């Protein structure tokens, strides 16, 4: 394989209208939760740094839609999309940001270490590239236990500068492990542009070719394209053929961490940001669904208000939940 797309069409079906509507609901849910986080962050009641995923929603949604809930997913600190797309409890997610006892991790992890193993969201990591070998380990365990699960790891372009990325590709290629490496290439690591950091910066999808790991480079703002690439990679992994890299090109709207924007500081040109904003993955899917008469304006209003209710409820739940008891302090400490 190799090249910019996966050749095999095994296991691939294009998304049905029903699936597209469900992708839209998931993406809009991620978007609306983050809008509320951004709006309320200044109150200083959410005591966890938050790395917003806004702009990337199609990646988590399209990849996770091709998985089973039992398939283990490891994310990174830009974590909210994976948690919600995997089916994590929204009340527990927001309570976690407010470091409450009812949080997904009992208030001990916050946004950047969020997890929900019950739905297969195994964890987020603050260490750049930290999840790549962990997902590879899940895939090794599946293979040794003769289970047909597929492990997925999400990480940024910055993580491809770490040695563990290449070590994991080699090991996964060698053992033909059922793992999918999903790089969300948003072109920046904090303020540093990829072309200023990497000798060749347009070939992340191809970095596994020397380890027998094929790759695909896709438009990460197009959920149908993401889903299609994910289906091929999942079919490959489940049938024992081994790992795949998916490089999804996308763009983060917010500053690296926090609810603000960083286009006025000189490291991200405003024109670039505007160009990518016009490629809004949520709005563009909404337009397609309306254009193809899958949904009408009334349906959109209904879906919006259903999600608004879920968001509101989660924030109310979080705000009125208790803080962890002092007796919790030394629990879960290793
Ligand atoms: C091993 C390691 N090195 C450096 C850092 C500091 N750091 C935190 S986020 C980040 C940028 C990573 O960028 P990327 O992987 O592209 O993800 P993005 O934030 O763009 O989604 C860096 C350098 C870290 N957390 N871990
Ligand atoms: Mg990046």
Quickly name the fold that domain 17-249+267-318 has. Answer: Rossmann fold (3.40.50)
**Ligand 1 centroid – CA 76 distance (Å):** 9
Give yes or no for residue 157 CB within 6 A of ligand 1: yes
pLDDT value at residue 9: 52
DSSP 209: G
- Between 258 and 334, name the one with better pLDDT: 258
Domain boundaries, the chain: 17-249+267-318
Q: How far is the CA of 321 from the centre of ligand 1 (A)?
A: 32
DSSP assignment string, 310-332: HHHHHHHHHHHSPPPPGGGTTTT
Confidence of residue 332 (pLDDT cuts 50, 70, 90): confident
Residue 207: its pLDDT value, please? 98
pLDDT band for position 334 (cuts 50, 70, 90): confident
78 lines ligand 1 (CB under 6 A): yes
Q: Nearest ligand to the C-alpha of residue 158?
A: 1
The answer, yes or no, to whether residue 214 has pLDDT greater than 50, is yes
pLDDT digits 0-9 by tens, 46-82: 998 999 999 999 999 999 999 999 999 999 999 999 9
- Atom 18 of ligand 1: nearest residue by CA position: 156
State CA 81 to chain mean position distance. Answer: 5
Of all protein residues, the one whose alpha carbon is nearest to atom 13 of ligand 1 is 189
What CA–CA distance (Å, rounded) separates 311 from 307? 6
Using a 6 Å cutoff on CB, does residue 247 contact ligand 1? no
CA of 310 to the centre of ligand 1 (A): 31
What average pLDDT is seen over the chain?
95
The pair phi, psi for residue 155, each rounded to 5°, is -160, 170
pLDDT tens digits for 85-107? 999 999 999 999 999 999 999 99
What is the atom index within ligand 1 of the atom nearest the CA of 190?
Answer: 11
Separation between Cα atoms, residue 60 and residue 23, nearest integer Å: 10
**Strand-strand pairing, 188-189 and 192-193:** antiparallel
Please report, rounded to a whole number, the percentage of residues in the chain having pLDDT higher than 70: 96
CA of 317 to the centre of ligand 2 (A): 32
Task: Tell me the mean pLDDT in the region 190-212.
Answer: 97
| Mean pLDDT (whole number) for 132-139 | 98
**Average pLDDT value for residue range 246-255:** 98
Indicate which atom in ligand 1 lies nearest the CA of residue 130.
1
Of ligand 1's atoms, which has the minimum distance to the CA of residue 128?
26
Is residue 300 within 6 Å of ligand 1 at its C-beta? Answer: no
Ligand 2 ion: Cβ-proximal residues, 5 Å cutoff: 156-157, 186, 188
pTM over 0.85: yes
> Is 197 touching ligand 1 by the criterion CB < 6 Å?
no
Q: Which three-class secondary structure state does DSSP give residue 58?
A: helix
pLDDT of residue 6: 45
Give the model's pLDDT for residue 10.
54
Q: What is the pLDDT of residue 4?
A: 42
Q: In which band, very low, low, confident or very high, does the pLDDT at 190 lie, cut at 50, 70 and 90?
A: very high
Tell me: pLDDT of 259 over 70: yes
In short, whether 248's Cβ falls inside 6 Å of ligand 1 is no
The pLDDT tens digits for 4-36 are: 444 445 556 789 999 999 999 999 999 999 999
Q: For residue range 273-309, what is the model confidence (pLDDT) as tens digits?
A: 999 999 999 999 999 999 999 999 999 999 999 999 9
Ligand index nearest the alpha carbon of residue 161: 1
| For ligand 1, mutation pick of 158, 186, 250, 253 (most atoms within 8 Å of CB) | 158
| Alpha-helix residue ranges (DSSP H) falling in the chain | 17-40, 57-65, 80-85, 90-97, 132-144, 163-175, 223-238, 270-277, 281-291, 297-320
Pocket test for ligand 1, best of 126, 189, 257, 268 (most atoms within 8 A of CB): 189
Per-residue pLDDT, 333: 81
Instruction: Tell how far the Cα of 301 is from the centroid of ligand 1, in angstroms.
Output: 37
């Amino acid at each position: 394989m190799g090249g910019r797309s996966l050749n095999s069409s095994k296991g691939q079906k294009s998304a049905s209208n029903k699936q597209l509507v469900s992708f839209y609901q998931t993406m809009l849910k991620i978007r609306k939760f983050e809008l509320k986080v951004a709006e309320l962050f200044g109150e200083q009641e959410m005591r966890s740094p938050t790395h917003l995923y806004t702009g990337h929603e199609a990646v988590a949604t399209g990849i996770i839609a091709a998985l089973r809930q039992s398939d283990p997913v490891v994310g990174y600190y830009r974590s909210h999309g994976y948690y919600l797309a995997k089916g994590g409890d929204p009340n527990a997610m927001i309570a976690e940001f407010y470091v409450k006892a009812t949080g997904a991790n009992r208030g001990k992890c916050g946004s950047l270490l969020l997890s929900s193993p019950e739905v297969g969201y195994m964890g987020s990591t603050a260490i750049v590239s930290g999840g790549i070998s962990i997902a590879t380990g899940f895939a090794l365990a599946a293979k040794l236990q003769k289970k047909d699960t597929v492990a997925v790891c999400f990480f940024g372009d910055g993580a491809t500068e770490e040695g563990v990325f290449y070590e994991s590709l080699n090991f996964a290629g060698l053992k033909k492990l059922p793992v999918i490496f999903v790089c969300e290439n948003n072109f920046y690591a904090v303020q540093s542009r990829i072309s200023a950091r990497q000798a060749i910066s347009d070939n992340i999808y191809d970095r596994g070719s020397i380890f027998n790991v094929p790759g695909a480079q896709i438009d990460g703002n197009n959920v149908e394209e993401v889903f299609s690439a994910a289906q091929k990679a999942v079919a490959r992994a489940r049938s024992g053929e081994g790992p795949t890299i998916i490089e999804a090109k996308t763009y983060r709207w917010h500053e690296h961490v926090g609810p603000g924007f960083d286009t006025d500081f000189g490291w991200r040109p405003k024109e670039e940001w505007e160009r990518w904003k016009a490629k809004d993955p949520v709005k563009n899917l909404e337009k397609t669904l309306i254009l193809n008469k899958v949904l009408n304006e009334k349906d959109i209003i209904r879906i919006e208000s259903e999600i608004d209710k879920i968001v509101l409820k989660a924030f109310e739940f979080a705000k009125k939940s208790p803080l962890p008891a002092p007796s919790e302090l030394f629990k879960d400490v290793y």
